Amino acid sequence: MIYRSKSPLRLGLAGGGTDVAPYSDMYGGAILNATISMYAYATIEPLEGNTIVINSIDNNLEIELKSEETLPIDGRLDLHKGIYNRIIKDFRLKPLSFRLTTFVDAPPGSGLGTSSTLVVTILGAFAEWLKLPLGEYDLAQMAYRIERHDLNMAGGKQDQYAATFGGVNFMEFYKDDKVIVNPLRIRSKYLNELAHNLILYFTGTSRLSSKIIEAQRQNVLSQNEKSLEAMHQLKNQAIMMKEAILRGELDMIGQILDFGWQFKKQMAEGITNPMIDRIYEAALNAGATGGKISGAGGGGFMFFYCPRNTRSEVLKSLETFGGQIKRYEFTERGLTTWTI
């Protein structure tokens, strides 16, 4: 038998950063995100004997380990091993033997939630194989705890829930890791128009989000007024974006994106740089009404809202920077698992 799973990556449309502790614990966070047709994939093939093989295709790395209750966290495919360790511990299982193969449609550090989506996907494959009693909230929360607590990886809470639930969601974040996912029922013509007008652009560079997130965290702890006010405004942006999309007021999307981008840059050092600023300026000069960098910032994907017939001119303006336009569609489904 072969056990497979896939989960969609996401675009953080508004409120990005307010899902990161300690801000979300102290003030409550809000984010609007939508999953897209780019995925993380996982396949588990049970093996005879006492061996675990982990193959990360996109990282061109395969490791072979002895099957034990706890695998070493040593810098080589720690996400994969951390998931296994948590499953064995929580469900009191004996050591397992298997081959785990994974692939992600976007590189790490690209701002589309790749790491968290991969964790959800691998968890889903294990749940399919072992028939684990995990609901959507259970699985997303376990993915969060593996990353943030077990592996001490910096980041927020939105990615795990986006990958698990799928679709367009307005998410609320509170202390004690409480998360409420509110799926939005959006008319198909509005969603189609949004996908048509939002250009997804890969800058060609990735970044280490943990440094930016740590700076953001320190700004909250030190009560940096400028940074805190920026986060408050980004939380407001998520509400503004939700209302505009639900009402079909799509001409407002660009302005709301630009509103958020101006405040996002004030959250912490490193979110933008001269190249990102030049790309953003060129897109606006060509007809885009707003945009942002996806994820924590510093590199990776950017996206721009291009109303009416401005899309082609914006595409031409972006060609000069040597990046890549990525085609996509919005998706309704989150984590999907199956057995062959």
Q: Is the pLDDT of residue 251 over 80?
A: yes
pLDDT at 304: 98
Fold classification of 189-325 is: Alpha-Beta Plaits (3.30.70)
Q: List the one residue out of 227, 178, 200 whose CA is nearest residue 293.
A: 200
Label residue 56 by pLDDT band (50, 70, 90).
very high
For the chain, where do the domains classified as CATH 3.30.230.10 start and end?
3-185
What percentage of the chain has pLDDT greater than the value 70? 99
Coil, strand or helix: which one is 42?
strand
For the chain, where do the domains classified as CATH 3.30.70.890 start and end?
189-325
pLDDT at 312: 95
Q: Rounded distance, CA 157 to CA 172, Å?
A: 10
| Torsion angle, alpha carbons of 245, 247, 250, 253, to 10 | -50
- Residue 220's alpha-carbon distances to 107, 140, 182, in angstroms, are 29, 25, 26
Q: Is 159 designated active site?
A: yes
Question: pLDDT averaged over the chain?
Answer: 94
Q: Rounded distance, CA 92 to CA 134, Å?
A: 15
pLDDT tens digit sequence for 273-289: 899 999 999 999 999 99
Task: Report if pTM > 0.75.
Answer: yes
pLDDT at 215: 84
Report, as an integer, the average pLDDT of 93-121. 95
Structure-block tokens of residue 178: 């409480």
Label residue 271 by pLDDT band (50, 70, 90).
confident
Q: Rounded distance, CA 321 to CA 282, Å?
A: 10
Report, as an integer, the average pLDDT of 72-89. 97
Report, as an integer, the average pLDDT of 94-118. 94
Q: Are 36 and 76 in contact (CB under 8 A)?
A: no
Report, as an integer, the average pLDDT of 59-64. 96
Architecture (CATH level 2) of domain 3-185? 2-Layer Sandwich (3.30)
Report, as an integer, the average pLDDT of 309-330. 94
Q: How many CB atoms lie within 10 A of CB 176?
A: 5
Among the options 19, 105, 159, 258, which is catalytic?
A: 159
Q: Rounded distance, CA 330 to CA 13, Å?
A: 12
- Residue 49's alpha-carbon distances to 45, 85, 95, 124, in angstroms, are 13, 19, 11, 24
pLDDT at 207: 64
Q: Is the pLDDT of residue 201 over 90?
A: yes
pLDDT at 314: 97
- Radius of gyration in angstroms for the set of CA atoms belonging to the chain, rounded to a whole number: 20
pLDDT tens digit sequence for 6-27: 999 999 999 999 999 999 999 9
pLDDT tens digit sequence for 203-239: 987 766 777 888 888 999 899 999 999 999 999 999 9
Query: 198 forms bridges with which residues in the sheet?
Result: 305
pLDDT tens digit sequence for 113-139: 999 999 999 999 999 999 999 999 999
